[in-house]
Structure 1
Amino acid sequence: MNKQTILFDMDDTLLYCNKFFDLVVEQFSDLMEMWFHSFHIPMDEIKKKQADIDLQRVEQSGFAPDHFPQSFIDTYEFYSEMTGRLKSEAEILQLMELGRSVYGHDIEPYPFMYETLTRLTEEGHELHLYTGGEPQVQMRKVTEAGLERFFADRIHITRHKTTEYLESIIRNNQLDRKVTWMIGNSLRTDITPALKNGIHAIFMPALQEWAFNNVKIDTEPQGAFLTLSSLAEIPDAIRGYLENAATG
């Protein structure tokens, strides 16, 4: 099989991520329920306000570590002003610390992550890691998961994953689009940019998906566009596509 260049997203493709944010949002909801109980505000309404604030910031300026905890504070201040409940510096500090706690959890790989990366490496493919977020936070995950042995210096981190940034990776590394793949869970930041850049794409839907990632695909694939449910399926799926392309 011809050598392929394979770019992997990290959060919710190789390592669990969204579920930890969801857990912290539940803790935030519990605090808001306790503090604003007498005002009878539906918790779903509070969660939606927080999600909307967080989403707006990410759309404007990408991923920054203070966005998430700040969304807690902004939501708290919104309802404090709406209800007339006095703000508390201690409560604001508690929310900031809660929001930041999401970045300190232990890493948890998706099933078959190590086996899949090992097999692809042994088959001679060149693996890249392409992830969005704060470089220091993301590199901690890379180190704790032991991912350097698969990706070496081919690790690309940006706060804002865009079609243009992916294009710069392809150009700067002189990647051949005909043998280059992007694998990720985000239709917005992984799959759409891959298709617009004319490379192969494998969509790995997350069980718990963030609204930010859900967009419609409006680009015609120039190569493979596959949807898989397990990392373990990737090597055979790539092999099968290449064999069909060679005989077709």
Structure 2
Amino acid sequence: MRRSDQVLVFDADDTLWENNIRFERAIEAFLDQVVPPAPERAAARAVLDGIEAANVARYGYGTEVFRRSLAECFEQLHGRAATAGEQDGFAALTASVSGADVELLPGVAQTLDGLAQRHRLLLLTKGDQAEQQAKVDASGLAGYFERVHIVPEKDVAVYRWLAAEHGLAPEVSWMVGNSPKSDIVPARAAGLNAVFIPHQHTWVLDHAELDPADRRVLHLSAFTELVEHF
């Protein structure tokens, strides 16, 4: 599989560094506050997931959208608007996920260092521009990438744009990420190859079914395994 003309495009959150675990911890703390008198925990979480899906479609990604979703979920579960004190609690939970400090996943820096000596590397991440750029800066990884792109959403149109922007040959270009919905499915629909590296805390809204028969999707269990193939 290893070729000198390959281009590797990397996702960021939960591929290069930990991200969604922060949100999961904040959500668990939120559920502690609303259950009871809200429905049982799984039902309350399902309500929040639905609200987040609607708000992401309307407002995009970012911690402010997360705070809005918590407030709307509280109102729906309790049948009333949150008090000022309760709103302050949602803001505190949001602050807990918005720090710019970054925890790299094991072996990421060393693996990128080796890959960058053989291939062109690009970074493609979705989300709030300022928040994602802060994480890229804090990671210390920007120097490994030819370009860093922060986009509102990662869909088929974005992958086609990326391929045109960088003159990518689909047969030797690979999208590397943990999200079936954002990294694998749309990249494949745009004609690129893909490398799926699952993360146990991938956001539920980033889940999607993958075709097990698709030979142009490489399944790995760890980021460090990339050097064995590229």
TM (norm. structure 2) is 0.90
Letter in 2 for 1:63: Y
Q: Output one character per residue of 1:172-227: Cα deviation in whole Å (capped at 9) or x when no partner.
A: 11112122110001111110111112111100111122221221236985x73110
Q: Identity rate of aligned residues, in percent?
A: 29
- Of 82, 85, 89, 1:90 maps to 85
Letter in 1 for 2:10: F
Question: Deviation at 1:60?
Answer: 4.5
Q: Distance in 1 between matches of 2:82 and 2:137?
A: 40
Q: Distance in 2 between matches of 1:108 and 1:9?
A: 15
Letter in 1 for 2:120: E
CA contact (8 A) 2:49 2:205 kept: no
Residues 92 and 21 from structure 1, CA distance in 2 versus in 1: closer, same or farther, beyond 3 angstroms? same
CA contact (8 A) 1:8 1:129 kept: yes
Q: Distance in 1 between matches of 2:74 and 2:43?
A: 12
CA contact (8 A) 1:18 1:210 kept: yes
Residue 63 of structure 2 aligns to a residue in which SS?
Answer: coil
- Of 146, 150, 154, 1:157 maps to 150
Q: Distance in 1 between matches of 2:135 and 2:188?
A: 27
Moved more, 161-170 or 60-69: 60-69
Task: After TM superposition, list the pairs within 5 Å mapping 1:66-81 onto structure 2.
Answer: 66-81=64-79
Question: Deviation at 1:47?
Answer: 2.1
Letter in 1 for 2:226: I
Question: Deviation at 1:49?
Answer: 1.4
Q: Distance in 1 between matches of 2:206 and 2:42?
A: 20
CA contact (8 A) 1:73 1:96 kept: no
- Of 170, 187, 200, 1:207 maps to 200
Per the alignment, residue 218 of structure 2 pairs with 226
Could you list the runs of 5+ residues in structure 2 that have no partner in the other structure?
none
The ranges of structure 1 where at least 4 consecutive aligned residues each deviate by more than 4 angstroms after the TM superposition are: 218-221
Question: Deviation at 1:115?
Answer: 1.0
Per the alignment, residue 101 of structure 2 pairs with 106
Q: Distance in 1 between matches of 2:82 and 2:178?
A: 39
CA root-mean-square deviation = 2.1
CA contact (8 A) 1:196 1:219 kept: no
Moved more, 228-237 or 207-216: 207-216
Q: Output one character per residue of 1:23-70: Cα deviation in whole Å (capped at 9) or x when no partner.
A: 11111122224xxx4x36423322221122112222455424322111
Q: Which has the higher helix share?
A: 1
Per the alignment, residue 246 of structure 1 pairs with none
Residue 66 of structure 1 aligns to a residue in which SS?
Answer: helix
Q: Distance in 2 between matches of 1:6 and 1:87?
A: 46
Per the alignment, residue 129 of structure 1 pairs with 123
Q: Distance in 1 between matches of 2:38 and 2:206?
A: 32
Letter in 1 for 2:138: E
Residue 183 of structure 1 aligns to a residue in which SS?
Answer: strand
Q: Distance in 2 between matches of 1:41 and 1:60?
A: 26
Could you list the runs of 5+ residues in structure 1 that have no partner in the other structure?
239-248
Q: Distance in 2 between matches of 1:116 and 1:40?
A: 46
Question: Deviation at 1:79?
Answer: 2.3
Q: Distance in 2 between matches of 1:224 and 1:140?
A: 33
Task: After TM superposition, list the pairs within 5 Å mapping 1:1-248 onto structure 2.
Answer: 1-33=3-35, 37=36, 39=37, 41-81=39-79, 87-104=82-99, 106-123=101-118, 125-152=119-146, 154-217=147-210, 221=214, 224-238=216-230
